[in-house]
Amino acid sequence: MQAAIAVENVSHKFDERVALDGITLQVMPGEMYGLLGPNGGGKTTLFRMLCTMLPPDHGTIRLLGKNAAANAVRAHIGVVFQHPSLDVRLTVLENLRHQGHLYGLKGRPLSQRIEEVLDMMALADRAKDRIEILSGGLQRRVELCKSLLHRPQILIFDEPCTGLDPGARRGFWDDLDILRRTYGTTLVLTTHFIEEAERCDRIGILDRGQLIAEGTPAALKRTVGCEVITLETRDPKGLQLQIEKVAGRDVQIIDGQVRIACDEGQQLLAQLYPLLRENVQAMTLSVPTLEDVFVQRTGHGFHVEDQ
């Protein structure tokens, strides 16, 4: 089966700053693929390339078997940007009509498409409402409607849930499930939310322009181990050296905390208890998360600035 998206050895610089460094990945038809990483990891640069807005300095990107640089490929992709692209002074219907005109749709065919997407997103009763009176979650649904009018085979999102409250986020993911069931659309999204990445079929984790890990969320977490011990102490370096000497295993210091990935957390804590009771203010034992995968691969924390 041909990949819906094929990125091959893509690199890009902005002046002297490396934004992407030899990225290679594939997204299969009907798959939901997440690009996870902190700000500055390279997600938005790759998003712009997938949307045909930015050509790579090196490497190739193919969408549905066509070079992403070809104008014809734009007819087959839909894009939802991080920041709203709606005219808030117009109604939902007026925004959709203008979007349809950009794709050469008009008359009855355009009206049918608008009815179709409004019904799918449960917005038919809001068609005559101005955008400015809609909640953030409803506005995001209208953005989805805009991107679906031309029935794209690939739908690409940049930080789709930024600014939405938890309830609106859950509703948005329900909308994506509807899309997949109805059209079998290939979905690609950038995100810095761990819980969003968990819902994808596969993810690629980006950091400082490099693809540091790729796979299903479950498979990636298994690479860390069964459990993660996190210790808070006034002397992280000293405790790290003591644990490595006693337990004979590698220990990381991340953001001032001591972390140990292991398969037998309770037994290890029991072994280390005489050492920990004098030197540790707090400890946690948890199952691995995608953040733990990031920490293990990079040696530093997953830091995201407020947006």
Sheet strand arrangement including 186-191: 77-80, 154-158, 186-191, 32-36, 202-207, 210-215
Claim to verify: residue 206 and residue 237 sit in the same structural domain: no
Choose the final residue of a domain: 164, 190, 217. 217
Establish if 18 belongs to a structural domain: yes
**CA 304 – CA 220 distance, rounded (Å):** 21
Establish if 279 belongs to a structural domain: yes
Establish if 301 belongs to a structural domain: no
Claim to verify: residue 123 and residue 62 sit in the same structural domain: yes
Claim to verify: residue 25 and residue 165 sit in the same structural domain: yes
Establish if 38 belongs to a structural domain: yes
Given the DSSP bridges, would you call strands 154-158 and 17-27 parallel, antiparallel or unpaired? unpaired
Per residue in 195-243, pLDDT (tens digit) is 889 999 999 999 999 999 999 999 999 999 889 999 999 999 999 999 9
Claim to verify: residue 104 and residue 253 sit in the same structural domain: no
For the domain that residue 61 is a member of, what is the CATH number? 3.40.50.300
For the chain, how many structural domains are there in total? 2
Q: What is the pLDDT of residue 306?
A: 42
* 160 phi and psi angles, rounded to 5 deg: -65, -25
Establish if 156 belongs to a structural domain: yes
Per residue in 232-272, pLDDT (tens digit) is 999 999 999 999 988 888 899 998 999 999 888 899 999 98
Which of these, 284, 290, 222, 238, lies nearest to 259 by C-alpha position?
284
CB neighbour burial string for 9-31, b if at least 16 within 10 angstroms, e if fewer: ebebeeeeeebbbebebbbeeeb
Claim to verify: residue 142 and residue 234 sit in the same structural domain: no
Q: What is the pLDDT of residue 304?
A: 59
Instruction: State the CB neighbour count (10 A cutoff) for residue 289.
Output: 19
Claim to verify: residue 44 and residue 166 sit in the same structural domain: yes
Establish if 103 belongs to a structural domain: yes
Claim to verify: residue 184 and residue 281 sit in the same structural domain: no
What are the angstrom distances between the C-alpha of 27 and each of 10, 34, 202? 15, 10, 9
* 79 phi and psi angles, rounded to 5 deg: -130, 135
Claim to verify: residue 244 and residue 115 sit in the same structural domain: no
Which of these, 178, 191, 189, 174, lies nearest to 307 by C-alpha position?
191
Cross-strand pairs, 131: none
Establish if 298 belongs to a structural domain: no
Q: At what angle do helices 136-148 and 107-120 cross, to 10 degrees?
A: 140
Choose the final residue of a domain: 187, 217, 247. 217
Structure tokens at 305: 């600035």
Please tell me whether residue 155 adopts helix, strand or coil conformation: strand
Per residue in 163-203, pLDDT (tens digit) is 677 777 787 788 888 888 888 899 999 998 888 899 999 99
Claim to verify: residue 34 and residue 171 sit in the same structural domain: yes
CB neighbour burial string for 122-146, b if at least 16 within 10 angstroms, e if fewer: ebeebbeeebeebeebbbbbbbbbb
**CA 92 – CA 146 distance, rounded (Å):** 10
Cross-strand pairs, 27: 5
In the predicted structure, residue 307 carries a pLDDT above the cut 50: no
Which residue type occupies 123? L
Claim to verify: residue 188 and residue 64 sit in the same structural domain: yes
Q: What is the pLDDT of residue 277?
A: 84
Per residue in 111-158, pLDDT (tens digit) is 999 999 999 888 999 999 999 999 988 998 899 899 989 999 999 999
Per residue in 102-113, pLDDT (tens digit) is 989 999 999 999
Claim to verify: residue 22 and residue 101 sit in the same structural domain: yes
User: Any idea which residue has 């798959």 for tokens?
Assistant: 31
Range of the domain at 49: 5-217
Q: What is the pLDDT of residue 232?
A: 94
Establish if 297 belongs to a structural domain: no
Q: How confident is the model at residue 299 (pLDDT cuts 50, 70, 90)?
A: confident
Given the DSSP bridges, would you call strands 252-254 and 5-14 parallel, antiparallel or unpaired? unpaired
Claim to verify: residue 112 and residue 203 sit in the same structural domain: yes
For the domain that residue 231 is a member of, what is the CATH number? 3.30.70.260
